[in-house]
A and B are shown apart, each in its own frame.
Chain A
Amino acid sequence: MSASEPGSTGGVRTRPRGRAGDRLLRVYVWLVIAWLLLPIAVMIVFGFNDTQSKSNVSWQGFTAKWWGRLDEYPQLLDAVDYSLKIALLSVLVTTVLGTLMGLALGRHRFRGQGATNLMMFAAISSPELVMGASLLSLFISTGVETGFWTVVIAHVLFSLSFVAITVRARVVGMDASIEEAARDLGASAWTTFWRITFPMILPGVVAGALLAFALSIDDFVITQFTTGGDVQTFPLWIWGATRIGVPPQVNVIGTLIFAAGVAIAVLNAVTARRRGT
């Protein structure tokens, strides 16, 4: 190997090949993204399909009539209503409990911290199926009737750790000396929390709450195990409809939820950027 070789030829040889590789990689990434978005496009488009039969499979022409006929399936609207109520209630509970946990884990050292971390880890990594099955075993054994409230309990369970971790990350990244300064200036612990700590962790709390909402509204497996016959959420209704054919109204509601979700995510990202966090 001569001294002049690696510096000159190495650079010349690898760069053009690298660019071709980059271009190929770019095409590949867009193909994967297209694959990821394909079923969403189908969902949106088939909400405008002028289908005659219940099985909404082949394209029959454009119509917007389904958007005005959502009430054709009253149980579908009930299901959406249940989904929203369950999501809002469970988010409320999860956000309060998760924020408190996040504060404890981020700010304090205490006995049982390892056990708490372990339980949170188990809640995140256990299969949904097992969580649902064991909750159902608990409810069967103790004679608790499954329905609306058992679903709320389950939804709080699986989103709690995510909120706690999001808030903990925020608490850890926070400068504790600001709180100390407030205390030095005579603020009570209560005042310090609401005037200093809470506003500083708020972005973490909001992010956690949004995540919990998304997890709740989308959940199928645990909900199926912990609900009774009367309470169906939107995903459960779709599951029931797959056997007889999914009506276009499902596509319309799916599109509405999708649009709302994207709007909230974009809004959250924009405000976060403006705040500089």
Chain B
Amino acid sequence: MKRLTPYLLVLPGGLWLAVFLVVPMVFMASVSTQEGDLVNGFAQTFNVGVYGDVLSQYGTQFLRSAGYGLAATVLSILLAYPVAYWIAFRGGARKSTYLLLVLLPFFVSFVLRTVSWKFLLADEGILLAPLKSAGLLPGDFHVLQTTAAVIGGLVYNYLPFMILPIYVALERVDPRTVEAAQDLYASRREAFTRIVLPLSLPGVFAGVLMTFVPMTSDYVNAAILGGPENTMIGNIIQTEYLVNNDYPTAAALSFTLMAAMLVGIFAYARALGTENVLEAAAR
């Protein structure tokens, strides 16, 4: 009985993950090589050629998504690092208050936050209308339906996921190591680049994992803040699945996206250690 205990404990949750996470991936792969339509039904024809088709047809959107994801990730690191640094080293007794402030957006629904940005940035909205009537901006100036709006929205929505892991890593840095470096005649800059920065890199890596993946596969920001020129791969997958009901194409696209992401994630996690990334992700 005692030997069975861990298995009994882990079984219900493990089965849930296996049945609803692993098995569906197999079904998705299977759907992707089927042919047919919603009316006449889909039949398995092992049509592997669909992968070539979707890549040539939607290669632009794949590349665009990767580009947006990359740009938004880099921007997030640049924006988040100083914030995390300041809270960790200068936050004093109010650290948890600052963290709560950074996390406040999570208490508003993701879609509602994005819609709120649409209000703010509307062509005749509360930000642009006064600037336009004051003659500071040309009348046809707009932010919505641009690449900048989509990337800005992505950075906004996922920034706390970058701040938190970097903060956790910086929090663990013993201030005495910095003092020691300065005692050994390191300048402030050297103490930062040679002590603090390397020690905080695991946090940056965890942050990249937690932001790049969801940002690249996002479709909410492109749909609400972007225009037809900003369509990301997520928008295509969403439309093919839920609007056009072209399941094979949609499944092939998602499977390609997943494969690309998983290869990346596992190479990344292998290099850095799964446990560490998991732990950072859980905080």
- Residues of chain A having any CB pair with chain B under 8 Å: 6, 10, 14, 18, 22, 25-26, 28-29, 32-33, 35-40, 42-43, 46, 56-59, 96-98, 100-101, 103-105, 107-110, 112, 116-131, 133-138, 140-142, 153-154, 156-157, 160-162, 164-166, 169, 214, 217-218, 220-221, 224-225, 234-235, 238-239, 242, 246, 250, 254, 257-258, 261-262, 265-266, 269
Q: Would you call A22 and B125 a contact (CB within 8 A)?
A: no
- With A and B bound together, what is the CA distance between A35 and B100 in angstroms? 15
Query: CB of B111 within 8 A of chain A?
Result: yes
What residues of chain A lie closer than 8 Å to B262, measured between beta carbons?
Answer: 122, 126
Q: Would you call B90 and A25 a contact (CB within 8 A)?
A: yes
- Residues of chain B having any CB pair with chain A under 8 Å: 5-7, 9-10, 12-14, 16-18, 20-25, 27-28, 30-31, 79, 82-83, 85-87, 90, 96, 98, 100-113, 115-120, 122, 124-126, 129, 156, 159-160, 185, 187-188, 209-210, 213-214, 216-220, 224, 234, 237-238, 241-242, 247, 250-251, 254, 257-258, 261-262, 265, 269, 274-275, 277-279, 281-282
Listed from nearest, the 4 A-B pairs whose CB atoms lie closest are A39-B116, A108-B6, A261-B107, A127-B217
Q: Would you call A116 and B10 a contact (CB within 8 A)?
A: yes
- What is the total of A-B residue contacts with beta carbons within 8 Å? 271
**Contacts A121-B278, A157-B17 supplied; 11 other A-B pairs, CB < 8 Å:** A57-B124, A101-B13, A103-B9, A129-B257, A131-B24, A133-B250, A214-B107, A221-B219, A235-B112, A238-B112, A262-B104
Q: Would you call A165 and B242 a contact (CB within 8 A)?
A: no
Task: Indicate which residue in A46, A100, A138 contacts B27 across the interface (CB closer than 8 Å).
Answer: A138
Q: Would you call B10 and A112 a contact (CB within 8 A)?
A: yes
Secondary structure dominating the interface of A: helix
Task: Indicate which residue in B86, B102, B103 contacts A25 across the interface (CB closer than 8 Å).
Answer: B86
Q: Would you call B30 and A58 a contact (CB within 8 A)?
A: no
Known: A128-B217, A157-B16. A39 touches B113 (CB 8 A): yes
> Taking the nearest CB of chain A, how far is it from the CB of B184, in angstroms?
10
- With A and B bound together, what is the CA distance between A234 and B112 in angstroms? 10
What residues of chain A lie closer than 8 Å to B28, measured between beta carbons?
Answer: 133-134, 137-138
Most chain A beta-carbon contacts within 10 A, residue among B27, B214, B237, B251: B27
> Taking the nearest CB of chain B, how far is it from the CB of A1, in angstroms?
9
Q: Would you call A160 and B30 a contact (CB within 8 A)?
A: no
Closest to B217 in A: A127
Q: Would you call B105 and A37 a contact (CB within 8 A)?
A: yes
> Taking the nearest CB of chain B, how far is it from the CB of A76, in angstroms?
12
What residues of chain A lie closer than 8 Å to B96, measured between beta carbons?
Answer: 269
What residues of chain A lie closer than 8 Å to B24, measured between beta carbons?
Answer: 131, 134-135, 137-138
